[in-house]
Amino acid sequence: AQSVTQPDIHITVSEGASLELRCNYSYGATPYLFWYVQSPGQGLQLLLKYFSGDTLVQGIKGFEAEFKRSQSSFNLRKPSVHWSDAAEYFCAVGARDSSYKLIFGSGTRLLVRP
């Protein structure tokens, strides 16, 4: 069965510093991978997605993620964090059955230091 692991519960970075949030997945074939962001009291917003092709994908708000099959990873990066990036970030994998459901990781809370 598919699963997603986000090993970092909390990450704190200074404003202007670079960011990398880790995501590892368990899946037997090429997965469909997603990163979502949830600001406090808000719903989830899709940041970026990987279906196939170029392993480095660009998303909204200056985020990017790299799919590494050999490491079963899909880490999210941003070169310079803004205070408004403080939020909860979720990695998800699409279940390869007829349900089209998403399986989410447990989330990483990003705190931004002024």
Partner 1 sequence: DTAVSQTPKYLVTQMGNDKSIKCEQNLGHDTMYWYKQDSKKFLKIMFSYNNKELIINETVPNRFSPKSPDKAHLNLHINSLELGDSAVYFCASSQVGTVGLSYEQYFGPGTRLTVT
Task: Name the site residues for partner 1 (rule: CB under 8 A).
Answer: 32, 34, 36, 38, 42-46, 49, 51-52, 88, 90, 94, 98-104, 106-107, 109
Could you give the CA distance from residue 112 to residue 114 in angstroms, rounded to a whole number? 6
Q: Give 17 or 61: the residue with its C-beta nearer to partner 1.
A: 61
Three-state SS string across 19-61, please? EEECCEEECCCCCCEEEEEECCCCCEEEEEEECCCCCEEECHH
Q: Report, in Å, the least distance between residue 5 CB and partner 1.
A: 13
Q: How far is the CB of 95 from partner 1 (least distance, A)?
A: 8
Residue 85 has φ and ψ, to the nearest 5°, of -80, -10
Please, what is the minimum distance in Å from the beta carbon of residue 79 to partner 1?
25
Residue closer to partner 1, measured from CB, 25 or 90: 90
